[in-house]
Structure formats: structure tokens, C-alpha cells
């Protein structure tokens, strides 16, 4: 069975500091990996995804994540955060042979302080 | 614009009442999903449907029911049998063709039982 663990429930950080949100997964089959972002009282928006190819994937707003198969991790990083990055972030895993069922982690709340 | 519309955004109900949450998509996606979100627990799958007139239970289906009579619609009924229905409910969809595993989410419906 697949599972996803987000190691930190809350991550406080000052504006312009770097941040890493950690995600580990377990799966015996090939997987797709995702990071979603959720602003208060809204749905989830896709931030970035790993399907195949380069293990480093980037989003348009400066986030990046690296797929590490040996460590079964998909940590999310940003070198310099903004106040507007304050949100909840979810890591998710899906099987490459399945149609759409994703397993989500518990979520990490990123709190960016001025 | 293509997307997923959930209604109502906020809903209050008395104990013992059934309530139906609406989810409509115009993305021409084959698969649709209902997730429940509780603080600190991430998203948990209630039901999903990969084709019209067919659906499967997710991890927490007890006390819920769904129908899929049209490709674009996937309503969720929270019945009086659901013991703890107060939560944030998210509807999502995905495309089966050119599968990439990505889910597209609606804005959510917040149900409060008084």
C-alpha cells in the first residue's frame, strides 16, 4: 500500500529566508509525485509534479522539488519566500498505472513572517 | 473558463438531516472524486467515479452516497448515518486520456452540523 508522510505540520520562517518542506512516501511500484498548495477556504492548486525524466522539477513561482528514489523523498524547496507563500502545502503520490487516485500527506502549514 | 464548480460553499445542517453537495465540471474529464479534509489529517477519499453510471468506495465511504448519471456531475449526499459530518469537502476531476495523474479541484464546500 502507498502512504505519504509530511514530516512537519507547521513551518514558520521569516520573509526572504529559504524553506524546505519535507515529504517521504512508500510505494512498491512506480509513482507520480505532486505538490499542491491550498489557500484558506479554497481548493487545492497544483504547484508542481514529477512524472518521469529529470528528477528536479520547478514551478513558475520559484518552488522546486527533487525526486529521490533511493530515499523515497520529494522535498519542496524555495530559496527565498514571500508573505504570499503563506498557505498549506500537500504532498501526494499516485501510481503510474492507475487513473487518478492520489494519496495525500497530512499537510504542512507554511507561515511566512515579516 | 473550464473548471469545477462546487455548491454551496457553506452549509449548515441539523443532526439527522441528509444534505447533498453539488459538483459540476466542464473539463470533459472522465473521472471525478470526493475528498474530505479535516485539520491535521490531509485529504481522505470518500468516493470516486471513473465512468458514468459507475463509482467505487474510497477509504471513508460510510455514511455517504453518490451518483454519476452525467459525465459532468457527481453529487455527494451526506446522510444522517455519517457520525461526524462537519468538515471541508473537496470535489476533483481528472482526465483518463493522456493520463498524468493530476487532479483538478473545486473551491470546496464547508459543512457544519449544528
- pLDDT tier, A99 (very low <50, low <70, confident <90, very high otherwise): low
Q: How many CB atoms lie within 10 A of CB A50?
A: 19
Q: Are B4 and B55 in contact (CB under 8 A)?
A: no
**Taking Cα atoms as reference points, which of B66, B83, B88, B84 lies closest to residue B22?**
B66
User: Of B101, B105, B108, which has the smallest distance from its Cβ to A32's Cβ?
Assistant: B101
Taking the C-alpha atoms of residue B75 and residue B68, their distance in angstroms, rounded to an integer, is 7
Secondary structure of residue A84 in the 3-state scheme: helix
pLDDT digits (tens, 9 = 90+) for B32-74: 999 999 988 889 999 999 899 999 999 999 999 999 999 999 9
Which residues of B have a CB under 8 Å from any CB of A? 4, 6, 30-31, 33, 35, 40-45, 48, 50, 90, 92, 94, 96, 99-108, 110
Task: Give yes or no for A53 touching B (CB within 8 A).
Answer: no
Q: Are A36 and A47 in contact (CB under 8 A)?
A: yes
> What nine digits make up the cell of B103?
487532479
Q: What value does the mean pLDDT of chain A take?
A: 90
pLDDT digits (tens, 9 = 90+) for B70-95: 999 999 999 988 889 999 999 999 98
Mean pLDDT of A22-46: 89
pLDDT digits (tens, 9 = 90+) for B29-38: 999 999 999 9
**Sequence-distant (≥ 6) Cβ neighbours of residue A3 within 8 angstroms:** A25, A26, A103
- Position of cell 521569516? A14
| β-bridge pairing A87-95 and A73-78 | unpaired
Count of A–B CB contacts within 8 Å? Answer: 69
Q: Are B68 and B3 in contact (CB under 8 A)?
A: no
A64 forms bridges with which residues in the sheet? A58, A77
Taking the C-alpha atoms of residue B53 and residue A51, their distance in angstroms, rounded to an integer, is 30
pLDDT (0 to 100) of residue A31: 82
Amino acid at each position: 500500500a502507498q502512504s505519504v508522510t509530511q514530516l512537519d505540520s507547521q513551518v514558520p520562517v521569516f520573509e526572504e529566508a529559504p524553506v524546505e518542506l519535507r515529504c517521504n512516501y512508500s510505494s512498491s511500484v512506480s509513482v507520480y509525485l505532486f505538490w499542491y498548495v491550498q489557500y484558506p477556504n479554497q481548493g487545492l492548486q497544483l504547484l508542481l509534479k514529477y512524472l518521469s525524466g529529470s528528477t528536479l522539477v520547478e514551478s513558475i513561482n520559484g518552488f522546486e522539488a527533487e525526486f529521490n528514489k533511493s530515499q523515497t523523498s520529494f522535498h519542496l524547496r524555495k530559496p527565498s519566500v514571500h508573505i504570499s507563500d503563506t498557505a498549506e502545502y500537500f504532498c501526494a503520490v499516485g501510481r503510474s498505472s492507475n487513473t487518478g487516485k492520489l494519496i495525500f500527506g497530512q499537510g504542512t502549514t507554511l507561515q511566512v513572517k515579516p | 473558463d473550464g473548471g469545477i464548480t462546487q455548491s454551496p460553499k457553506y452549509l449548515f445542517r441539523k443532526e439527522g438531516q441528509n444534505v447533498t453537495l453539488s459538483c459540476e465540471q466542464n473539463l470533459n474529464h472522465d473521472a471525478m472524486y470526493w475528498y474530505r479534509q479535516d485539520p491535521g489529517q490531509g485529504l481522505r477519499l470518500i468516493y470516486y467515479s471513473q465512468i458514468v453510471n459507475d463509482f467505487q468506495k474510497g477509504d471513508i465511504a460510510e455514511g455517504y452516497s453518490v451518483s454519476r448519471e452525467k459525465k459532468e456531475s457527481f453529487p455527494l449526499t451526506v446522510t444522517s448515518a455519517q457520525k461526524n459530518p462537519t468538515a471541508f469537502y473537496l470535489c476533483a476531476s481528472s482526465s483518463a486520456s493522456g493520463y498524468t495523474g493530476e487532479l483538478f479541484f473545486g473551491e470546496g464546500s464547508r459543512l457544519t452540523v449544528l
